Chain A
Amino acid sequence: MERKVRVLVAKPGLDGHDRGAKVVASALRDAGMEVIYTGLHQTPEMIVEAAVQEDVDVVGLSILSGAHMTLLPRVVQLLREKGVDDVLVVGGGIIPEADAEELASAGIARIFGPGCPTSEIASYIKDWFETSERAGV
């Protein structure tokens, strides 16, 4: 059986806009992935704990509250502290270009802005996965 890609879709921050997160979660499922949805209002600690327990390949963070510069780097940092450094972390939401660049240097591989087709997200993940060291295990 083909190795399933596992993705955590999480909503850090206090806002309740889960339309994007849910659409992406559904689209990734329809692209054949196993999506673990954490729900709203997650702290970085909760997200990282879930990522560890679920042994996901990808962590997708959707945030529209404006707290992305604080919360997203914190997720990466906590993952590293747990010794998890082979996981792809991506983000989405209302995140200005300049912030996205800064986030990239903090380890958020990609920010998918409003209007980005879900098919692009799915193929980005698939491409990453194929060449990642997680693919074999």
Chain B
Amino acid sequence: MPLDVQTLLKRFREGDRVALSRVISLVENDHPSSPVILDTLYPFTGKALRVGVTGPPGAGKSTLVDHVAARMRTDSQKVGIVAVDPTSPFSGGALLGDRVRMSSVNLDDGVFIRSMASRGSSGGLAWKTFEVCEVLDAFGVDRIIVETVGVGQGELEIADEAHSTVVVLVPESGDGVQAMKAGLMEIGDIFVINKSDRESADTARRMLDSALELKPVKNGWRPPVLSTVALKGEGVEELHRKIEEHLRLLVTSGSIQHRRMEGVRAKIVEILRNRIIQSAWERNKLGRLIDAEVVSVMAGGSTPYKSAAEILRKTGQ
């Protein structure tokens, strides 16, 4: 049965969750129909606010996401959750287990949870996370929560994609220091010390507080440090309030609008860049020219720089 994208999108627009799920797959897999889909859905996007939740593995992110989503539901908001975990570099496969912790919303038809593997992208996000968020947005969710593992310098992309970024840490010694080194301090709009039922929670909180003092207040927002016990749902109300407060600030200050504009610009630039490169590449048969130069460099007759200049000269650029 050939794929009928128009019928699928019609079902999508009618609120069919199976269709939503298939559309996400097409976009995630970069199916040839993906540009058409994103084009068609674009007019319906722009409403959902995106919350990123990041932090080291085991910090309690999924447990918190579960609670926060449930809390959002009490305001009758529809919620999309995207949970990203790394793809195994050895096999290309992945084990995605975040759903296990989200059992209080997994039967709620106002919540849609999607697990994604990073598939070779290195920034902590999956390759197509942004596009998948767009699809959820077009489907009509009010909030999108993106959970990612964030420990290292290279895993902080979430902050670019989310409107509000929540960094989840645990009291264990070293974690806070680790976080500062890894740059998590830079990206957090809200900090959470989860597992505050543990002894050293107060110390951790104080450490974090004093580290944040040094950070300049940005757009009238000083990142708060909250304590939660995700297991018992303690501190979730406060966390939810801070998230909404921050989002509201972003909306009223026009910052979301501005970011969207910047996002649109970046997107156009990205698409153009890809297209231009591709067409120039094909027009000038660059592949073959490069092959020839590689041989020449390997034979000691040229260097990469000289070769590149030579190719540019030959193609009249």
> Which of A's residues lie within 8 Å of B, judged by CB?
1-4, 6, 25-26, 28-39, 45-46, 49-50, 52-55, 82-84, 133, 136-137
Contacts and interface: CB of A to CB of B under 8 A. Distances in A.
B246 interface: no
Contact of B114 (A28, A33, A49, A54): A54
A81 B97 CA distance: 26
B307 interface: no
Given A31-B93, A50-B99, A55-B21, 7 more contacts: A29-B88, A29-B91, A30-B91, A39-B99, A53-B112, A55-B24, A133-B1
Interface string B4-45: 000000000000011001101110011100000000000000
Given A39-B97, A55-B25, A32 B91 contact: yes
Interface string B99-120: 1100100110000111101011
Nearest to A22: B95
Interface residues of B, number: 34
B114 A53 contact: yes
A86 to B, nearest CB: 8
A54 B115 contact: yes
A46 B100 contact: no
Nearest to B11: A83
Interface of B: 1, 3, 17-18, 21-22, 24-26, 29-31, 87-88, 90-97, 99-100, 103, 106-107, 112-115, 117, 119-120
Contacts of A36: 96-97, 99, 115
A137 B96 contact: no
A109 B107 CA distance: 26
Contacts of B30: 1
Q: Which of B3, B93, B106 has the most CB of A within 10 A?
A: B93
Given A50-B106, A55-B24, A37 B100 contact: yes
Nearest to A133: B1
A34 B107 contact: no
A30 B88 CA distance: 8
Nearest to B29: A3
Contact of B96 (A32, A37, A55): A37
Nearest to B120: A1
B106 A49 contact: yes
12 contacts: A1-B29, A1-B119, A25-B95, A29-B93, A30-B91, A33-B93, A38-B99, A39-B99, A46-B103, A49-B106, A53-B113, A54-B114
A121 to B, nearest CB: 14
A35 B96 contact: yes
A39 B22 CA distance: 23
Contact of A137 (B3, B87, B94): B3
B17 to A, nearest CB: 6
Contacts of A46: 103, 106-107
B31 to A, nearest CB: 6
